[in-house]
Amino acid sequence: MFFSNMHLFFFFFSFSLLSSGHPSLQLNSTAFSLSFPLTTLPLSTNTTSKMLHDSLIANSNRNRNNTRVTRPSSPYNYKLAIKYSLGLVVNLPIGTPPQVQPMLLDTGSQLSWIQCHKKAPKRPPPTVSFDPSLSSTFSILPCTHPLCKPRIPDFTLPTSCDQNRLCHYSYFYADGTYAEGNLVREKFTFSRSLFTPPLILGCATESTDPRGILGMNRGRLSFASQSKITKFSYCVPTRDTRPGFTPTGSFYLGENPNSLRFRFIEMLTFSPSQRMPNLDPLAYTVALQGIRIGGRKLNISPAVFRADAGGSGQTMVDSGTDFTYLVNEAYNKVRAEIVRAVGPRMKKDYVYDGSADMCFDGNAVEIERLIGGMVFEFEKGVEIVIPKERVLAGVGGGVHCIGIGNSDKLGAASNIIGNFHQQNLWVEFDLANRRVGFGAADCSKVAQ
């Protein structure tokens, strides 16, 4: 299942998993910093042992954050490298002994799941699947487990008992993709001395995408929550469409030595009791305040970027959504400015992915020059700056589109800052202090 630009919304309105358990990582007395490659398909066929040998690097644990914030110790520090096309995929060692699995890094969803097959699928595309029979720490949740009982509060993922009285889940997405299998417990095994306890995961036996999901939102069943990570960050490299090449960036679990130069904004949080129909209380919500295009400040009220009484207008930072999405009022103001700058060059009667109609044929460099750069404005003068060279996204057939879609056209009145507008940017999620940090970087060089 390849997630389209809108896969985040499918997660938002499909489930909200909550669990009382917060398993902690089991470590020896030494603190570690680890490094792994994060890749997009096609994936290397390197063996598990070689990948671990190449990527596990132990360093001293350091705290370089001199800001006045609480500093609860993270169970571990862990660095991954990242390759990027439309999504961010990390290869993680799972099970005992570990089997390396490709997982999409997704801050917009909670439940992590992996591909589970005893035999590799015979049909292309090739994939890397987890074989439960080879792991001594694998177990399946029985139907009697609380998470498998239907209609419990905050658990709307469809579950049922299979013929073996095991907990089965079926997860269908609005774009026709799906994943289903069993809810299980399994370890992430980074080394002999560094591993998680068994975490609750989905073990997909049927799906339409060869990769799994690493759920990293604020929910109790996300990987971040179950492993008690207090912060994580990533640096998305710029896209490169050359055949056979995928650019490389970085992903940190725990402390990031670059964070001294990040600028932070407060995260907006919501109580689980705030059951507004259009609100995701587990998302990384921020207060976007304005947008500039080509140096011109658009006349958009900051209220458009905040959740109203029904939850509409919430603004989220998501690594798992490709384009940025804006509610109708904000999108129309952006479109009006694009029309003013390059209206005659727009591709008529063309809508990409059902929501993006600011698209062009012809010379993309000339169009970018006429539009200029773009800036997302936040509190305290914090900004996400998109240079003119990254305003347009190639969508195939020689067509380029502004990397922004209208979320109302897809039935979800939310604002989302997708990974397209996170290129060459550190993004840090400081869970302990409820804040999000940004820092400009050459992400490909950072990963070297």
Residue 441 phi, psi dihedral angles, 5° rounding: -160, 160
Task: Please report the pLDDT score of residue 306 as a whole number.
Answer: 96
CA neighbours within 13 Å on the CB side: how many for 161?
9
Residue 125's pLDDT band (cuts 50, 70, 90): very low
Give the pLDDT mean for 331-344. 97
CATH of domain 263-446: 2.40.70.10
CATH code given to domain 7-258? 2.40.70.10
Does pLDDT of 101 surpass 50? yes
Q: Which residues contact 205 (CB under 8 A, 6 or more apart)?
A: 116, 117, 180, 181, 182
Q: Is residue 390 scored above 90 in pLDDT?
A: yes
Instruction: Extract the tokens encoding 363.
Output: 């010379």
Q: Distance of alpha carbon 108 from its chain centroid, rounded? A: 6
pTM score > 0.75 for this model? yes
**What angle is formed at CA 65 by the lines to CA 63 and CA 66, rounded to 5 degrees?**
120
Task: For residue 400, give every residue at least 6 positions away whose Cβ sits within 8 Å of its Cβ, in sequence order, or none.
Answer: 359, 360, 364, 367, 392, 393, 394
Q: Which of 106, 175, 209, 322 is catalytic?
A: 106
Q: What is the pLDDT of residues 178-212, one digit of tens each?
A: 788 999 999 998 878 888 889 999 999 888 778 88
Comparing 7-258 with 263-446, is the CATH topology the same?
yes
Query: How many alpha carbons fall within 13 Å on the CB side of residue 117?
Result: 16
Does pLDDT of 45 surpass 80? no
Distance of CA 100 to the CA centre of its chain: 19
Distance CA 380, CA 421 (A): 20
pLDDT of residue 405: 97
Answer yes or no: 318 catalytic: yes
Length of the chain in terms of residues written? 448
Per the DSSP assignment, residues forming a β-bridge with 429 are 232, 436
- pLDDT computed for residue 163 by the predictor: 76
Nearest residue to 91 (alpha-carbon basis) of 123, 23, 44, 25: 44
Model confidence band, residue 157 (pLDDT cutoffs 50, 70, 90)? low
175, 209, 318, 430: the active-site residue = 318
| Chain segment 219-234, per-residue pLDDT in tens | 988 999 999 999 999 9
Average pLDDT over residues 357-370: 95
Residues 6+ apart with CB under 8 A from 273: none
**Known catalytic membership, residue 54:** no
Q: Which amino acid is at 377?
A: E
Q: What is the pLDDT of residue 28?
A: 33
Query: What rounded mean pLDDT belongs to the chain?
Result: 80
Residues pairing with 90 in the sheet: 38, 103
Q: What percent of the chain stands above pLDDT 90?
A: 54
- Report the helix count and the strand count for the chain, using DSSP H and E: 6, 30
All residues at 6 or more sequence positions from 130 whose CB lies less than 8 Å from its CB, including other chains: 94, 95, 99, 101, 114, 115, 116, 117, 203
pLDDT over 80 (residue 333):
yes
Residue 188 DSSP label: B
Least confident of 37-46, 71-80, 367-376, 416-425: 37-46
- Higher pLDDT among residues 88 and 128, named by residue: 88
Which CB contacts under 8 angstroms, 24+ apart, belong to 343-348? 345/370, 347/399
**Boundaries of every domain in the chain:** 7-258, 263-446
